[in-house]
Amino acid sequence: MSRYSRFTGRRVAIVAGGALAAGAVFAGTAFAQTDAQLAAETSPKVAGTPCTSAAAACVDVAAKKAWLIKDGKVLRGPVTIAAGGPGEATPSGDVFRVYRKDKDHKSDEFKLPNGQPAPMPYSVFFEDGGIAFHSGDPRRASAGCVHLSVADAVAFFTFLQIGDHVQVKNGGPEPTAGNATSGDDNQGDNSGDDNSGDNSGDDN
């Protein structure tokens, strides 16, 4: 995880006031949905994923899977991921948005044994607190980020652009065979292992 963050406004407060009686004014607060929230809720589900077509990237924390989505169809996935461990859960929600990309990012928060900042290769940041997709061991829990094998991290970094939506769910339908278009070759092999022995991406 990196401490890099940016302000996110997901709710718009509407304050209404009205006279109830002479000299009495009532003020109430309601929350209006953003366009992103409406799109997430009203867009059709993408077959084999727990997300809707409003998302460019979909994560199922419980199933430890992720997908890239284009035009309502799975472009890549399901791919194996690792999300946050106990006390460092990956945040869930429907309207995360890619706000920064850094191919050679290094964490200011976590250090290697030699004291140098821990690498987070191919980082795609989508939530405050430095939460990102990045190359890391997909078999080991993160500190909140989404660990991907090297090949998948490159694919997510290449495909996702600033402003793209990310949906993170905690449980959903099992992927169907027709949606396993690529990335399955990362399961049960050593993809991403080059990150497990050198602390690359260990920070998150």
Task: Go through the domains of the chain in sequence order and give each one's CATH number.
Answer: 12-195 (2.40.440.10)
pLDDT at 124 > cutoff 90: yes
Q: What percent of the chain has pLDDT over 70?
A: 68
For CA atoms 85, 87, 93, 99, the dihedral sign is negative
Q: Say what the pLDDT of residue 1 is.
A: 53
Strand partners, 80: 65
Contact predicate 165/96, CB 8 Å? yes
Long-range contacts of 33-38 (CB under 8 A, 24+ apart): 34/10, 34/95, 36/10, 36/94, 36/95, 36/97, 36/165, 37/10, 37/94, 37/95
Mean pLDDT of 31-42: 82
Instruction: Work out the average pLDDT over 20-31.
Output: 43
